[in-house]
Structure formats: C-alpha cells, structure tokens
Amino acid sequence: MRLLTDPFQAGFMQRALIEAVLLGVVGGVVGVHVVLRRLAFMADALTHTVFPGMAVAFLLSGSLYVGALVTGVASAVLLTLLTRNRRVTSDAALAVLLTGFFSVGVILISRSHTYTADLTVLLFGRVLAVDLAEIVATAATGAVVLAVLWLLHKELVLRSFDPDAAAALGYPIGTLDLVLNILITLVVVSAVKAVGSVLVIALLITPAATARLLVRRHVGLMMAVAAAVGAIGGWLGLVISYEGSLQHGWRLASGATIVLTLTAMFLVVLAASAVARRRHRPDEATDESTTDHPLLDPHEPLIDDAMAIGSRP
Amino acid sequence: MSDLVHTFDSSLMQRALLEALMAGALAGVVGVHVVLRRLSFFTMSLTHATFPGLVIAGMLGISLFTGTAAFGLLVVVLIASLARVRRIDSSTATGVVLAGGFALGVVLISSQPGFSKDLTGFLVGSILTVTTADLVTTAIAGLVILAVLAALHKELVLGAFDRDGLVAMGYPVLVLDLVLLVAIELTVVTTIPAVGTILSVALIVAPAAAARLWTDRVGPSMAIAAGIGAASGALGLVVSNQWSIAAGPTICVILSLVFATSTIVSPRHGLLTRRRRSAGPLLAIGA
C-alpha cells in the first residue's frame, strides 16, 4: 500500500496526481457520451485543431488556454460548414481539418528556435510540471462541464439512444449536439496543456470504453465507473512511471505511462468480460463471426451523422 | 521566376520531388477507397499506432519499413477484432488502439536519448532527407499496392457500395476487407518515413475527398486524386523552398486549400454552384 502513496510526498507529484485524477474523472464522464455517440474521431480531431491556437498564444506569450479555445470553437464551426456538403462525409471532413489545422500550427511554431522541444510539450504535456493555477483552471472547467452534463443528462442520453424520440419530444437536437461538442472542446482545452493531446484522447475514450464493457445500460452508472477508471488509471500510471524511473532506472514518460495503464485496464476488463460471456452463453461467440459484418463496418458511421447539423433538411 | 525554375536543381530537391510525386499519386488512389468506406479515422489511427514498430525497428537495427509494416499488421488485426466485440464500435476500437499504440511508442522512445527530435521527424516527416533507398521502397511498395488494387478493383468498389451483393455473389468479403485494410496500412507505412504521420493522412484523405466533388465515378476520381496529390506535393516543395517553410506542413496546407476550394467551386457539388441551382428548375431530380 505504501507503494501507492509514497511517490506523492513531493509537491510536484501531488499536483500531478490532483491534475491526473481531476482529468480522469471529467474525461471519463464526458467520454461516456463520446463513446455512445461514436465521437472518438471528433475528439481526436479537436486535440489537433487546438494546436495552431496554442502555437499563436505560445509565440505571443499569451494564454494557451484562450488560444486553444478560439481554434477549438473555430474548427467546430468549420466542420459544420464542411459537412453541409453531402458529398463530403464527416470523417473525411474531420481528417482534412485536422491535418490542415495541425500543419498551420507546425508552420507557426517552427518559427521558434526551440521548435522540437515545444512540439513535444504540446503533444505530450508536462504533467509533472503542472502548477496550482492550472489545477484551478482544470477544476473550474471540470465543474462547469459536469454541471452542464448533469442538467442536460436526460436530454443527452435520449438523444444518444433514440434521436427520433428526442426530436419528436421537441428537443433541439442541433443545439444539444453543439453543447456536447463544446463540452468536449472544453475538456480537450483544459487538459491538452497539462497532459498533451495524446493523453487527452485516451482519457476521453479508454475509460468510457472500459465502463461500457462493465455496465450494461445505466448511463449514470457507466459514467461513475468511467470516472473511477480514469482516476485510478491516472494514479497508477503516475506511480508506475515514478517507481520505474526511481527504482529501476527506466525513463518512462509519465503521460504516456498513464495511457498505457488505462489501455491495460481496458484489455483486462475486455478479456474478463469475454470469458464471462462465453461461460454464460457458449454459442454466442459463433453468432458474431458471420460474413455479414465487415471488418470495419462502413455503414456504421464512424462519426455520428448528427455532427452535420447543417445538413439536416 | 527563375528561382522557381531552379528549385529542383539540386539532387536533394529532385529526390524530394520524386518522393512527393510517388507518395501523392499512390495515396490519392488508395484514398478513394478510404473515403468511400469512411476509413479516415482508421487511417489516422494507423499512422499513430504503428509508431512502436518504428521505435522497435530502430532499437533492433532492422529496416524501419519492415518494422512498421509488421507492427502495422498487428494494429490492423487488433482494430478489426476489437471492433467485433459487442458494445465496442469501430470508432471506439480505433480510438483506444490509436492512443494505446502511440503511447507505447512514446514510452519506448522516451527511454532513448534525443527523444523529442525523433518524434518530431516521425510526426512531420523529413521529405528533404529522403534517401535513394526510401525512393526505391516507395516505388516498389507503391507498384505492388496499385497492382493489387487494380486486380481487385471491381470487387473492392462493389464491396463499398453493395456489400450484400458481393456476399450474394459468393466473394470472400472478409478477405477482401482485409486486403484493403492491409493495402491502406502499407500505404501509410510507406509514406510515413518521408512525409510523417500527419501528412500521410492528409495525402490519403484530402485529394480523394476533393476528387469526389469533381466526379461521381470511382475510376476517374482515382486519377483526379492521384493528380491532386502529386501536384500538391510538387507545389508544396516549391513554396516551401521559396519561403523556407517546413515542406511537409506546407504540402498539407496546400492539400487542405485544394479541398476547401473544391467544396466551394466544384461544378456539381460546390457550395456556390448548388446555391445557383436551387434557384433553377423545379424538376431537378438528380440534384
């Protein structure tokens, strides 16, 4: 047990732990919506499109947070415009936006002489160098995000599972989608500086995917499990990278170690649930291996089509 | 003007041009399948998740192409089998593998000195330092991929539009799916060493997405996409040389601009042309 608490005697490790747990909880809860609505690529794209804003802020010594927020929202609007054209599927539009924005960011930041180091920080963050102001910003953003999710819980869940019913009840689907996208943007923006873009994707997807394997239907419970998985993954990941570096001399990048810990938790749950299911219904496994399902289903939208708010008649 | 003509005088720039033309043409053709089947996120995931293969190849001293190609196969199998698990859809499977794979690469490479420099090269590529060996790899891999796509063209296209029809005709659909995913995987690992992960995705998706706005037919859209990819590569090198901007990101931005322009002005599906048509005849059934 000491092993789990000992690394957190130093102040920087305590701050890293608070940040990682905060982001794990918020990422897990929002992530349930990301996973239910299949918005993983959207989340991934956002982590890249905030980059030019951060680069500009970085060069002008402005607030990275504001810079990221501006380009995050701008890319959400552009995406809506692009997907107005029915010939352009939302996944292709996302890929073009992502690569275009990211490249502008790289061109901007390549003007600075500490180019490669800066790029690495923006991608992988510096969770061990988080300061108190960043923790406060993360906590405040997280509180806003969770409050909005709580207030709109019923509407957002119904919209995920039964969009037709939600529309029939008169819910403003377009507005709900926009709210969710902005919430995802907020999480990405508050996390990307501290933990880097790759860890943000993992925090938004992996804990929620794990929870979805464990919880059958109840979305609230799924969120609680995802939050717990995210928080535990952050904690364990920090312990592993600290102990690995200190005791064994492996230099394990802390952000990436957290991602690997989350992935390992997902794989363990996946294996356990596969074993459990096979024990209950041994014939089910053979059901699924028909040739009717493509290896990667082209008809299963990778991005929820409702992303294309403007394309609705 | 004379500056522009002399852009490709040095053998360094000639090699870069050749790589850009080949990678652009190859990625354009493969990209049409990617866009038809909505596999952009899968492509993105492949570019990131094959990273450990590159690091391991570097550690073992084997060829980078072999390392990433072998690891990429693993990634393809992993994503495809995860996506078949109940309650894990392909989007989530792709995301989990993307983050996990990339993180594994980062952990592996962070134990090596000089880590951030290698990583930057991996992400944004270094087309100006392609070697003759890289060119040969791109040429051979490209020819093999294009030959396979040409041989299976009818089946792959039918699979994208009418899968049930393909099943009914007795084709081994899962094998065809796998062939296509592996072709995409090989395209990604072929182009990454020269152009980096981000440009690799851009070269595959952007020209094909733009071509789709100019024609409804698959064959011609492959030709258009290949042309856009190759031309953007060449133009990007000229621009980058002229104003000393990093080559990879410049090509990327040009590709995005070509796509953005196409969404506005393409004759049949552009935003401008569509608006004009909506004020047109009452009976416009094909619109």
Q: What is the pLDDT of residues A228-252, one digit of tens each?
A: 999 999 999 988 888 877 777 677 7
**A206 within domain boundaries:** yes
Looking at A33-37, A102-106, A274-278, which range is the least confident one?
A: A274-278
The pLDDT value given to residue A306: 35
Distance (Å, whole) CA B119 – CA B108? 11
Banded pLDDT at A144 (limits 50, 70, 90): very high
Asked whether residue A181 is assigned to any structural domain, the reply reads: yes
Identify the residue among A35, A82, A96, A240 best suited for mutation to test binding to B, counting B beta carbons within 10 A and taking the highest: A96
Residue of A nearest to B199 (CA): A99
What span, in angstroms and rounded, lies between the C-alpha atoms of B213 and B276? 16
pLDDT tens, position by position, B32-68: 999 888 888 888 888 888 888 888 887 887 877 888 8
For A129-186, the three-class secondary structure string (H helix, E strand, C coil) is HCCHHHHHHHHHHHHHHHHHHHHCHHHHHHHHHCHHHHHHCCCCHHHHHHHHHHHHHH
Spatial distance between the Cα atoms of B214 and B224, rounded to a whole number of angstroms: 8
**Given the structure tokens 């064994």, which residue do they identify?**
A248
Average pLDDT over residues B254-267: 86
Q: Which residue in chain A is spatially nearest to B91 when comparing CA positions?
A: A302
pLDDT of residue B285: 46
| A282 — pLDDT class (breaks 50, 70, 90) | low
Contact A103 B202 (CB under 8 A): yes
Q: Which of A177, A200, A197, A255 is nearest to A28 (CA)?
A: A200
Asked if A106 and B124 count as a contact pair (C-beta separation under 8 A), the reply is: yes
Is A202 a member of any domain? yes
Asked, for residue A287, whether it belongs to a domain, the answer is: no
CB spacing of B178 vs A295 below 8 angstroms:
yes
Q: Which of A106, A213, A292 shows the shortest C-beta gap to B246?
A: A106
What is the C-alpha to C-alpha distance for residues A78 and A244, in angstroms, rounded to an integer?
A: 44
What is the rounded CA–CA span in Å between residue B85 and residue A293? 12
Give the model's pLDDT for residue A301: 41
- For range B235-256, the mean pLDDT: 87
The Cα of B157 is separated from the nearest Cα of chain A by a number of Å equal to 12
| Res. A209: pLDDT tops 90 | yes
Pull the structure tokens for residue A76.
């959400």
Whether the per-residue pLDDT at A82 is higher than 70: the answer is no
Query: B163 vs A92: CB contact, 8 Å cut-off?
Result: no
Of A37, A248, A296, which to mutate for an interface test with B (greatest number of B Cβ within 10 Å)? A296
Among B32, B45, B82, B106, the strongest candidate for a mutation testing the A interface, having the largest count of A CBs within 10 A, is B106
Number of CB atoms found within 10 A of residue A302's CB: 28
d(CA A129, CA B54): 29
* Res A5 pLDDT > 80: no
Q: In 10 A of CB B269, how many CB atoms?
A: 19
Hey, which residues 46-65 in chain A have their CB within 8 Å of chain B? 48
- The alpha-carbon radius of gyration of chain B (Å, integer) is 20
Residues of A in contact with B202 (CB under 8 A): 95-96, 99-100, 103
Confidence of residue B249 (pLDDT cuts 50, 70, 90): confident
Quote the number of domains for chain A.
Answer: 1
- The verdict on a CB contact (< 8 Å) between A298 and B263 is no
Distance, CA of A46 to CA of A33 (rounded, Å): 15
Higher pLDDT, B226 or A118: B226
Give the tokens for residue B25. Answer: 């043409």
- Residue-level pLDDT at B276: 55
- Give the pLDDT score at A292: 52
Tokens 């930041």, residue located: A109
pLDDT for residue A307 is more than 60? no
Question: What percent of chain A has pLDDT above 70?
Answer: 81
DSSP tag of B10: S
Cβ <8 Å between B102 and A198? yes
Identity of the highest mean pLDDT range in A5-9, A305-309, B172-176, B203-207: B203-207
B141 pLDDT higher than 60: yes
Q: Which of B169 and B5 is assigned the larger pLDDT?
A: B169
Residue A28 scores a pLDDT above 60: yes
- Joined together, the tokens standing for residue A88 give 């352009």
**pLDDT confidence tier of residue B204, bands split at 50, 70 and 90:** very high
pLDDT band, very low/low/confident/very high, at A262 (cuts 50, 70, 90): very high
Q: What is the CATH number of the domain that holds A118?
A: 1.10.3470.10
Q: State pLDDT tens for residues B96-105.
A: 998 899 888 8
Residue B241, both tokens: 């040389």
Residue among B96, B274, B75, B17 at smallest CA distance from A211: B96
What b/e string do you get for B22-46 counting C-beta neighbours within 10 Å, with b at 16 or more?
A: bbbbbbbbbbbbbbbbbbbbbbbbb
Least trusted range by pLDDT, from A207-216, B65-74, B277-286: B277-286
| Cα–Cα distance measured from residue A104 to residue A294, given in angstroms and rounded to the nearest whole number | 36
- Band of the pLDDT at A1, cuts 50, 70, 90? low
Q: In this predicted model, which residue has the larger pLDDT, A21 or A111?
A: A21
Domain limits for position A275: 2-282+292-311
What does pLDDT average to over chain B?
Answer: 82
- pLDDT above 90 covers what percent of chain B? 16
Helix (H, G, I), strand (E, B) or coil at A42: helix
Point out the least confidently predicted range of A6-10, A51-55, A254-258.
A6-10
Beta carbons of A187 and A27 less than 8 angstroms apart: yes
Give the pLDDT score at B287. Answer: 38
Q: Write out the two tokens for A95.
A: 């890929």
- Write phi, then psi, for A294 (nearest 5 degrees): -65, 160
Cα B206 from Cα A91, distance rounded (Å): 11
Question: Which pTM value belongs to this model?
Answer: 0.83
Q: How far is B1 from chain A (nearest CA, A)?
A: 24
pLDDT at site A222:
92
Q: How far apart are CA A43 and CA B41, in angstroms?
A: 11
Alpha-carbon distance B91 to B85, whole Å?
12
Please report which confidence band the pLDDT of residue A267 belongs to, taking 50, 70 and 90 as the band edges: very high
Residue A171 counted as domain residue: yes
Task: Work out the mean pLDDT of chain A and round it to a whole number.
Answer: 79
Predicted local confidence at residue A80, as pLDDT? 64
- Asked whether residue A86 is domain-assigned, the answer is yes
Instruction: Tell me how far apart the alpha carbons of residues A187 and A26 are, in angstroms, rounded to a whole number.
Output: 7
Rounded mean pLDDT, B252-264: 89
Three-state secondary structure call for residue A63: coil
